[in-house]
């Protein structure tokens, strides 16, 4: 059986169980994600944000008029969040006594290489979405896996590199991300699984959800609803 986590991180400051560097994520700003979500849901919708991290998206959603409950398994991440209720929990273990208009699972968490863990994430989403609500996922579209390779981008005082890219199986991608800000450097190695739209639809149905469609044209954002 595959381990629940196939992520490894290193660098200055605390590293979360899934390999993310808290100090690096605290330097990031939203890149249009809150506006994508806001445009797809009712005004003032109550949101459960799974894997909220340091609140990069949380704070923007609050500013857009939404009530947000932010969930993360890292207390160091949650310590950065202001203005939202926070819950310390692994996504797959979460069981709150309420449901939400929107359940949000972003940052490509759903692309975990472990199918069993993916199913557990989907079941958590289903447990917490209101009967007339929706679940929004951010994922890599299947075709991304065919062309992605080593890369480097620079801007806003940071360098982001993808290195050591390999494909140990046809639908698996193994790579290392390197982040540099000033004299600080972090690395994050991950394994991600490609799932076709049909395969993702099967997994959704198995969790009691149904795919409603995509937000935008690149199929990076998936909207689902209770079946």
Max Cα–Cα distance, the chain, nearest Å: 50
**Chain segment 77-110, per-residue pLDDT in tens:** 999 999 999 999 999 999 999 999 999 999 999 9
| Token code pair at residue 11 | 């660098």
* Amino acid 216: pLDDT: 81
* Amino acid 139: pLDDT: 97
Q: Which residues contact 212 (CB under 8 A, 6 or more apart)?
A: 134, 223, 224, 225
Average pLDDT over residues 171-189: 95
Average pLDDT over residues 107-126: 97
pLDDT surpasses 90 at 11: no
* Amino acid 217: pLDDT: 81
- Calpha distance 50→72 (Å, rounded): 7
pLDDT surpasses 60 at 10: yes
Question: Among 17-21, 80-84, 139-143, which is the least confidently predicted range?
Answer: 17-21
pLDDT surpasses 80 at 189: yes
Q: What does DSSP say about strands 67-72 and 46-50: parallel, antiparallel, or unpaired?
A: parallel
Average pLDDT over residues 23-36: 94
Q: What is the mean pLDDT of the chain?
A: 94
pLDDT surpasses 90 at 18: no
Per-residue confidence at 17, pLDDT binned at 50, 70, 90?
confident
Sequence ranges of the domains in the chain: 29-142+194-226
pLDDT surpasses 90 at 114: yes
CATH class of the structural domain 29-142+194-226: alpha beta
């Amino acid at each position: 059986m595959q381990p629940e986590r196939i992520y490894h991180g290193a660098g200055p400051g605390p590293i979360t169980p899934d390999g993310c560097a808290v100090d690096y994520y605290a330097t990031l700003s939203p890149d249009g994600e809150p506006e994508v979500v806001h445009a797809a849901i009712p005004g003032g919708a109550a949101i459960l944000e799974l894997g909220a991290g340091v609140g990069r998206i949380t704070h923007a959603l609050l500013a857009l008029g939404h009530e947000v409950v932010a969930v993360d398994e890292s207390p160091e991440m949650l310590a950065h969040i202001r203005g939202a209720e926070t819950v310390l929990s692994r996504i797959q273990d979460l069981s709150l006594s309420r449901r939400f208009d929107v359940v949000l699972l972003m940052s490509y968490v759903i692309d975990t290489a472990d199918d069993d863990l993916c199913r557990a994430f989907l079941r958590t989403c289903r447990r917490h979405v209101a009967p007339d609500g929706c679940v929004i996922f951010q994922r890599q579209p299947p075709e991304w896996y065919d062309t992605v390779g080593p890369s480097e981008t620079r801007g806003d005082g940071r360098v982001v590199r993808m290195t050591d890219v390999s494909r140990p199986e046809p639908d698996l991608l193994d790579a290392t991300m390197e982040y540099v800000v000033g004299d600080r450097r972090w690395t994050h190695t991950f394994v991600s699984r490609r799932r076709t739209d049909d395969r993702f639809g099967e997994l959704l149905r198995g969790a009691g959800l149904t795919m409603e469609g995509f937000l935008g044209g690149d199929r990076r954002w998936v909207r689902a609803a209770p079946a």
